[in-house]
Amino acid sequence: MCSILDGMARKKPGPKGVLKNPRPAEEWVPDEAGRDVFLGTTEEVGPGEVADSADRLRSFFSERRGQIVALPGEAPRDAVWRIARLVDEALRDPGAVWWSGYEREHVVENPGAFEPPRRRRKGLPTSKLERPWNPPALRKLSVPWGRGGARRHVGPTPPPKAEHKCLWLDTSGVPARLRRYDGRSLTWDKGLEVDQSIAADPIDAGTFVADMTRPLRWLRHTSWPAVLTSTSPLRDSVARMLRGEMGRAGRSGRPTYLAYATLGVLLDRTPDQIADYLAYYRRSLRRRPRA
């Protein structure tokens, strides 16, 4: 009598080698010319990537142990929200969870790029004040700062004396390159290519370099709604951590537990499942014969 298992592949015990990524991220790498090339999306995440992310997050939380506990007089709900914001800050490290596409970006105004409000326009509410963009103090190309060295320079040779972070539009070759000076190493970086239509005109070139020293009018702001929303599973995990109910994932302490809870949110797993997955992976590494 044939077994119903005949002809069927038997599954090996233990967790899968890779995890399905609920929100894949796009992978880009620069080519030899400096252009970004699209490689694909991170549909799956391997144990090596998860372990590296766990180590980065655990290190971040270990440095802030005093912030992942309830503070004196702090309500439990407020403590959970504060720690969730700390997790959001940890995830902003570009290398922490590069494989996750849960990150969201939006652009905000840079307050440093505006002068203080001067006057109200007629007919506008009092809150709508004029805010001219960036004070016009950087119009002259040769204005020095600090010790009197060049702050901005255009030409085929570098300035004889350059301040730290001085910008030099190098016109000695085609295309021209915008280089930055490092006062510590006394070297200029490789620089970025600049369109020849700008570099060939002295006025346009000077204006371009001057504008590059102005504060950016807009800033890119990133956030992780997956850990900040009121319905995020992270809230429950943090609440259990504050009560001391961390289970297997908390055997190595709060920083490790919070790292596992964060990865669990991004991978649709519980903190214990992430802990078991990484424990199995690390045991398999120890069992591998040495070369």
Residue-by-residue DSSP string for 77-105: HHHHHHHHHHHHHHHTSTTTSTTB---EE
What percent of the chain clears pLDDT 70, i.e. is strictly above it?
A: 75
Task: Indicate whether 93 and 111 sit together in one domain.
Answer: no
pLDDT value of residue 147: 53
Is the pLDDT at 11 greater than 60? The verdict is: no
Domain assignment present for residue 291? The answer is no
Instruction: Pick the closest to residue 131 from 148, 113, 157 (CA basis).
Output: 113
Query: Which tens digit of pLDDT belongs to each residue from 247-261?
Result: 999 999 999 999 999
Q: Are the CB atoms for 41 and 24 separated by under 8 Å?
A: yes
Question: What is the pTM assigned to this prediction?
Answer: 0.63
Q: What is the dihedral of CA 151, 152, 155, 159, to 10 degrees?
A: 0
Task: Indicate whether 170 and 141 sit together in one domain.
Answer: yes
Q: Which alpha helices (H) appear in 114-215, and where do they start and end? A: 196-199, 202-212
pLDDT value of residue 55: 96
Enter the tokens of residue 62.
């270990």
Q: Of 171, 192, 214, which residue is a domain's last?
A: 214
Task: Indicate whether 156 and 205 sit together in one domain.
Answer: yes
Residue-by-residue DSSP string for 162-184: EEEEEEEEE-SSSSEEEEEEETT
Q: Of 167, 196, 214, which residue is a domain's last?
A: 214
Backbone angles phi, psi at 38, to 5 degrees: -80, 125
Task: Indicate whether 148 and 177 sit together in one domain.
Answer: yes
Pairing of the two strands 176-182 and 187-188 = antiparallel
Task: Indicate whether 128 and 140 sit together in one domain.
Answer: no
List the single range of 60-64, 84-88, 123-127, 249-253 with lowest mean pLDDT.
123-127
Domain assignment present for residue 171? The answer is yes
Residue 260 DSSP code: H
Task: Indicate whether 95 and 230 sit together in one domain.
Answer: yes
Domain assignment present for residue 17? The answer is no
Is the pLDDT at 86 greater than 70? The verdict is: yes
Task: Indicate whether 242 and 278 sit together in one domain.
Answer: yes
State the total domains in the chain: 3
Domain of 63? Answer: 44-103+224-286
Task: Indicate whether 82 and 63 sit together in one domain.
Answer: yes
Task: Indicate whether 98 and 110 sit together in one domain.
Answer: no
Domain assignment present for residue 16? The answer is no
Q: Of 119, 134, 149, which residue is a domain's last?
A: 134
Task: Indicate whether 178 and 231 sit together in one domain.
Answer: no
